[in-house]
Amino acid sequence: MPILEVRDLHVHYYTLRGVVRAVEGVSFTLERGEVLGIAGESGSGKSTVAYSLLRLVPPPGKIVKGSIVIDGIDIMKLSEAELRSKVRWQKISMVFQGAANVLVPVYTVGYQIAEPLIIHKGLSKKEALERAKELLKMVGLPPSFVNRYPHELSGGQKQRVVIAMALALHPNVVIADEPTTALDVVVQAQILNLLKRLKKELGMSMILISHDLSVIAELADKVAIMYAGHIVEYGPAERVYTNPQHPYTRALLAAIPRLRGPKSKLRYIPGSPPDLRNPPPGCRFEPRCSEAPSELREKCRRELPPLIEVEKGHYVRCWLHAAR
Ligand code: ATP
Ligand code: MG
């Protein structure tokens, strides 16, 4: 049984200016010990998917449809109290996008790691602080950091602290939302190495979210590529990277700058994503697609392509494939 199974997730934001259809028809599974990477440009719905998995979509957002089963528990059926006492931080936890900046300035790092252990596990303050020291060691920080305040830490050190917080209750699944985005490249590499080590040592099941495909390549076993609220391609990382099938994935991969080899012009994808309050009924990437032949365009615009399995476990949502 997979540790996490998401089926047909739809999440909408009910704003004064209309309904933002941020996530629609998203399905994926995460096996135990596996890392799933979710990639896609800004606004594609990555964080909204992540929030949904904890049932913490911020208002005016709402999960309107779908099932989310974590370790055999359908969390869509649980009450808020059950989510708090059984699921969040214990079954699934999250390193929030920009979390390092929201550490509470007036509490020590140790206390902030210890607090969930006191609340959820009933540890005494002293026991919880001892455990906080172990967690700090696990993320590569000296145990003496328990007594430090957030402003006494560098950005990379703060990021390690929020990772330690996410690990505190031994969750089955950890979500890391853009864990390296605000960091310089050297510290970015250190954090990725830390996540790699945790995957290996703890057999951690993880969802790694990034707009940067080269970050995801470092860690992911499986990749989901999101565009304007849909998963457009999904499959084993190695296959998606070496044999990308969706025009959007191909464009994203082509836009990664290369350090070695002949210098080429920096490529980008012309155009911008659709307004999610009024998305086109068909393929949301069609206006920017450079691959669909003219005779297919009408169909692309009108009908949403299904997810098609192009090789074992490798799916793509594109009429170029369905038409064959
Ligand atoms: P980024 O890479 O910038 O973090 P993302 O892929 O995480 O982007 P989301 O934050 O999930 O994207 O946003 C998905 C869509 O939902 C966007 O169109 C965004 O404008 C919209 N959205 C997100 N939060 C809200 C909100 N509170 N109210 C209204 N719309 C929202
Ligand atoms: Mg985000």
Does 22 sit in the ligand 1 pocket, CB within 6 Å? yes
Confidence band, pLDDT 50/70/90 cuts, at residue 265: low
Q: What is the ipTM of this complex?
A: 0.99
The pLDDT tens digits for 12-36 are 999 999 999 999 999 999 999 999 9
What is the pTM assigned to this prediction? 0.95
pLDDT the model gives residue 262: 65
Query: Would you state the pLDDT for residue 113?
Result: 96
pLDDT in tens, 59-83: 999 999 999 999 999 999 999 999 9
Average pLDDT across the chain, whole number: 94
What backbone torsions phi and psi does residue 23 show, to the nearest 5 degrees? -140, 130
pLDDT, average across residues 121-142: 96
- CB of 52 closer than 6 angstroms to any ligand 1 atom: no
Whole-number Å distance between alpha carbons of 299 and 313: 26
Residue nearest to atom 16 of ligand 1 (CA): 22
For 154, left (φ over 0), alpha (ψ -120 to 50), or beta?
A: beta
Amino acid identity of residue 80, one-letter, is: E
**Residue where the block lists tokens 């904890």:** 54
Question: Which residue owns the Cα nearest ligand 1 atom 21?
Answer: 22
Q: Kindly report the number of other CB atoms within 10 A of residue 175's CB atom.
A: 25
Q: How far apart are CA 75 and CA 55, in angstroms?
A: 8
The CA-atom distances, in angstroms, between 223 and each of 9, 29, 96 are 17, 11, 20
pLDDT over threshold 80, residue 269: yes
Task: Find the ligand nearest to 46 CA.
Answer: 1
Q: Are 216 and 236 in contact (CB under 8 A)?
A: no
CA of 324 to the centre of ligand 2 (A): 35
What angle do the packed helices 109-121 and 125-138 form, to 10 degrees? 120
176-215: per-residue pLDDT in tens?
999 998 889 999 999 999 999 999 999 999 999 999 999 9
Could you state, in order of their start, the residue ranges of all structural domains in the chain?
A: 4-91+171-322
pLDDT of 101: 85
- In CATH terms, is domain 4-91+171-322 a member of 3.80.10.10? no
206 bridge partner residues: 35, 174
Q: What mean pLDDT do residues 268-283 have? A: 92
Query: Which ligand 1 atom sits closest to the C-alpha of 41?
Result: 2
The DSSP letter of residue 108 is -
pLDDT tens-digit readout, 77-109:
999 999 999 999 999 999 999 888 889 999 999
Q: Is 45 in the pocket of ligand 1 (CB under 6 A)?
A: yes
Gap from CA of 119 to ligand 2 centroid (Å): 28
Q: Would you say 60 and 33 are in contact if contact means Cβ atoms under 8 Å apart? A: no
Looking at residue 264, its pLDDT comes to: 63
Average pLDDT over residues 288-307: 95
Phi, psi torsion values for 212, nearest 5 degrees: -105, 105
Establish whether residue 11 lines the binding site of ligand 1, counting it when its CB lies within 6 angstroms of any ligand atom: no
Amino acid 95: pLDDT: 95
Q: Using most ligand atoms within 8 A of CB, pick from 41, 42, 212 the residue to mutate for ligand 1.
A: 42
Shortest-distance ligand to the CA of residue 51: 1
**In the predicted model, is pLDDT for residue 217 greater than 70?**
yes
**How many angstroms is it from 38 CA to the middle of ligand 1?**
14
Order of strands across the sheet with 230-236? 92-95, 173-177, 205-210, 35-39, 222-227, 230-236, 314-316, 308-311
If you measure from the C-alpha of residue 226 to the centroid of ligand 1, how many angstroms do you get, rounded to a whole number? 12
What secondary structure does DSSP assign to 33-91, as a single string?
A: T-EEEEE--TTSSHHHHHHHHTT-PPTTEEEEEEEEEETTEEGGGS-HHHIIIIIBTTT
Reference 177, options 51, 54, 71; nearest CA is: 51
CA dist 173 and 93 (Å) reads: 6
Please tell me the distance between residue 208's alpha carbon and the centre of ligand 1 in angstroms.
17
What's the CA-to-centroid distance between 237 and ligand 1, angstroms?
25
Kindly state if the Cβ of 21 falls inside 6 Å of ligand 1: no
* Count of beta carbons in the 10 Å neighbourhood of residue 121: 14
Ligand nearest to the CA of 58: 1
CB contact at 8 A, 34 and 221: yes
Q: Is 239 in the pocket of ligand 1 (CB under 6 A)?
A: no
The pLDDT of residue 268: 79
Identify whether the C-beta of residue 273 lies closer than 8 Å to the C-beta of residue 41.
Answer: yes
Q: What is the pLDDT of residue 256?
A: 79
pLDDT of 260: 65
